[in-house]
Structure formats: C-alpha cells, structure tokens
Structure 1
Amino acid sequence: MDTAFRKINIDIYDEDVLQDSELYEADPRDPAEVLEDAKQRAGMVRSLLAKNDIPAALTVVLENAPYGPNVDDAKARILVVDIMTLQTLLTILNTTKSADIPGVIKSLSLDTQDTLMKYLYKGMAMPGWGDVSGSVLLGWHEKLTEVAGVGCIVRTMTDRRIV
C-alpha cells in the first residue's frame, strides 16, 4: 500500500495558509542571548527562593518566555546544561507548600498564569515527568484551574506559542 500521499505538505499550495510568524512575533534575541538570560534567571530564582518569595520567583521565570523558531537551538542547549527554565520552575513548584499555592497563583497576572499552565503541560509531557512527581504538577494544575478557570486551559491549548 502506498502511503507517500500522507507526507505531502498541502499547505505549500495554499495562498491563504496562516503561518506561525503571522500569529505572534518571534523572540528577537539570538539563541546565545536566550541561554544567557535563562542562566541569569536561574540565579535570581535561587536568590528569591532563599528569601521565600515564591510569587516573585514565579514571575521571574514565567515572564518574557522565549517563543519562536530561532530559540529552539537555545532551548536544546539549555536542556543540555541543565539550566532549563522548566527545571527552575519545577524547583519553585517543589518548594512551595500546598496551602500557599492559591495565594501565589492569585498574585500572578493572567498572562503569567497562562504561561504557568504551558509549563505544567510541558512538565507532564516529559518522559517520567523529569525530576518532579506527578502529584506536584497535578496539584498545581488543579489549583491553577480553580483560580484562573477553565479559560486558562483553553487559552493554553489554542495558543500557537510553545514554551
């Protein structure tokens, strides 16, 4: 049976196809700058966690997330050197007491809550869920859905920007 027809990209023949570049602006920084920024953020987060300032640490991690095709190389490099934004975020999630989670989430802006949901789904997509237990990610997901509503999930699923 011939299955080659399934590998044809029919969008190249359509004039009205919607490109990702038309939906959002890609990160203008080059991969080296994104990597350096992630390293700096990891240091700032450690400092804020030492002061027990969870909302500020989450804001540092979640704001100005790198989007776009030009940062894929940086994301891969960050993974290799284990300074990935997700790892920093998972550190915050693990150190937060479950009773404090709703208050922390309420202190975040709507966009930051959506970005947090993206990272939660990214953490759940990791094989073996990385260095964090599933209960932590699911607990945060539950609390985030309670505070931000189901709209947060819908916005995350329909947003073409991937963290």
Structure 2
Amino acid sequence: MATKDFRKINIDQYDEDVLLEEDLYDHDPRDPATVLAETKQKAAAVRGLIAKGDIAGALSSVLENAPYGPKVDDAKILNLQTILLLLNSTKTADIPSTIKALSSDAQDTLMKYLYKAMAMPGYADVNSSALLTWHEKLTDAAGIGCITRVMTDRRTV
C-alpha cells in the first residue's frame, strides 16, 4: 500500500528563492498598539464630523493612514466599522461631490474598503444597497483604473 505522506511536505522550505507574503510589500511601520489607538481617536473625530454634517472631511480623515498589514486586525475592523457608519449616513445626492473631493489615493483606499465590506456576508452594519451606490459613483469618478489598482495592490485594509 502506498503512503500519502509526501503530500504533507512543504517543499518551499527547501527553496532559497521562495517568495513570502511579507516580502511583497512594506508593512505598516507603526506599532500595532499605536495603530489601534490612532484608529480609535480617528473614529471619535469622524463621529463628530458626521454630527456636524462634514461628510467629505470625515471620509478623507478616516481614509488617511488606513491600517494595513498583519497584526493590526482590531484597528482594521474598527476602521471598517467607522467607514460603514459614514457610508450609511450619507445622502445619495451628496456621494458624487464627496468622492470628487478625495485624492486618487483616498479613492483607491475607499474602493478597498467597499470590496472588503462586500465580502462580509451577514455583517450587521453592511447595507448592500449603499455599498453598490458608492461603488457605482466611485467608479464613475475614478474610472476602471481604480478597480485595477485595488485588485493588484498587496496592502490589504
């Protein structure tokens, strides 16, 4: 009888030229605790800006220095929840002007968060209709290149 243990061997451990995920991009240089603290401060500031009606300022604030890389999962989730709160509280008529006020890097980061939210089935804060509306307006403003840049970027939010 033949053994199937050969399938459990990690052959990459013997290869000197193996490409690891952490080698593909630079990690966030900040300490994970610092990233979480900054994300909590940013979330509180964004709630204040939403209360004042400054949606464009709140969105650019939350997209600036978004947490990425490993070991900052709590900060990523908190930032996603803040963005979902912001997206759900925006009027449909205000979306195009809000998107046009963003830089191209911020538009790309917003697209990353839209895809991340769409990939979370059953998540209570996800309003699929709002996400699809934001995606449509963002694609109109930023073009299809925005989608391509997001799909090829290794830095996940």
Using the size of structure 1 for normalisation, the TM-score is: 0.84
Deviation at 1:18, TM superposition (A): 3.6
Deviation at 1:71, TM superposition (A): 2.1
How many residues are aligned here?
155
Deviation at 1:13, TM superposition (A): 4.1
Task: Choose from 148, 152, 156 the match for 1:154.
Answer: 148
Cα distance in 1 for partners of 2:137, 2:106 equals 15
Q: Which has the larger radius of gyration?
A: 2
Deviation at 1:50, TM superposition (A): 1.4
Deviation at 1:26, TM superposition (A): 0.9
What stretches of structure 2 of length at least 5 have no aligned partner? none
Cα distance in 1 for partners of 2:13, 2:101 equals 44
Deviates more, 1:62-71 or 1:153-162: 62-71
What stretches of structure 1 of length at least 5 have no aligned partner? none
Deviation at 1:127, TM superposition (A): 2.2
* Residues 96-120 of structure 1, C-alpha deviations (whole Å, 9 max, x = no match): 1111111110110111001000100
Alignment pair present for 1:134 and 2:128 = yes
Deviation at 1:10, TM superposition (A): 4.5
Using the size of structure 2 for normalisation, the TM-score is: 0.87
Q: Specify the SS of the correspondent of 1:69.
A: coil
| Map of 2:41 onto structure 1 | 40
* Residues 76-125 of structure 1, C-alpha deviations (whole Å, 9 max, x = no match): xx75xxxx111110111011111111111011011100100010011111
8 Å contact kept, 2:85–2:125 = no
Cα distance in 2 for partners of 1:51, 1:8 equals 58
Q: Specify the SS of the correspondent of 1:46.
A: helix
| Map of 2:72 onto structure 1 | 71
Alignment pair present for 1:27 and 2:28 = yes
Deviation at 1:2, TM superposition (A): 4.6
Deviation at 1:33, TM superposition (A): 1.0
CA change 1:91–1:4 in 2 (3 A) is farther
Cα distance in 2 for partners of 1:117, 1:3 equals 43
| Map of 1:105 onto structure 2 | 99
Alignment pair present for 1:118 and 2:112 = yes
Task: Choose from 134, 139, 142 the match for 1:145.
Answer: 139
CA change 1:36–1:17 in 2 (3 A) is same
Identify the structure with the greater helix proportion: 1
Deviates more, 1:97-106 or 1:62-71: 62-71
